Amino acid sequence: MSSQKPTSLAELQKLVTEFRDERNWRQFHSPKNLSMSIAIEAAELMEHFQWLTVEEAANLPQRDSQMRQAIAEELADVLVYCISLADVLELDIPAIIANKMAKNNRKYPADEYRGRF
């Protein structure tokens, strides 16, 4: 991979799988382990916001550059494990997201749900 930042999902997937394969970690990447890792990393992300008000949480990353970096790293961990799980399960990320968004559009029509849950 070049020294440029990856810009496409395919480039990110390649970056993640190359990292895994160079370390021979595929053997540890079962769907169970990866789904647990997603939950663990998501919990670590939530810790940054746990005791904050809605307003404090919304402004935190803008006020505190160290916190912004920590949040970015936890979010990256979640996304890396999601990419890894999709790879192991042979799921096409763009296709599954497009399908889910189409389902959400049918379930929550914009004209009925605009501005409310």
If DSSP codes are grouped into helix, strand and coil, which group holds residue 47? helix
Domain assignment present for residue 3? The answer is: no
Which of 10-14, 28-32, 59-63, 90-94 has the lowest average pLDDT?
59-63
> Residue written as tokens 């605009």?
114
At residue 4, the pLDDT reads 76
The total number of structural domains in the chain stands at: 1
Q: What is the CATH number of the domain that holds 70?
A: 1.10.287.1080
Q: Mean pLDDT across the chain, nearest whole number?
A: 94
Question: What's the CA angle centered on 32, arms 29 and 37, to 5 degrees?
Answer: 70
Domain assignment present for residue 13? The answer is: no
At residue 7, the pLDDT reads 84
The contacts of residue 18 (CB under 8 Å, 6+ apart) are 1
Domain assignment present for residue 11? The answer is: no
Domain assignment present for residue 83? The answer is: yes
Kindly report, residue by residue over 63-117, the tens digit of the pLDDT.
788 998 999 999 999 999 999 999 999 999 999 999 999 999 999 999 999 998 7
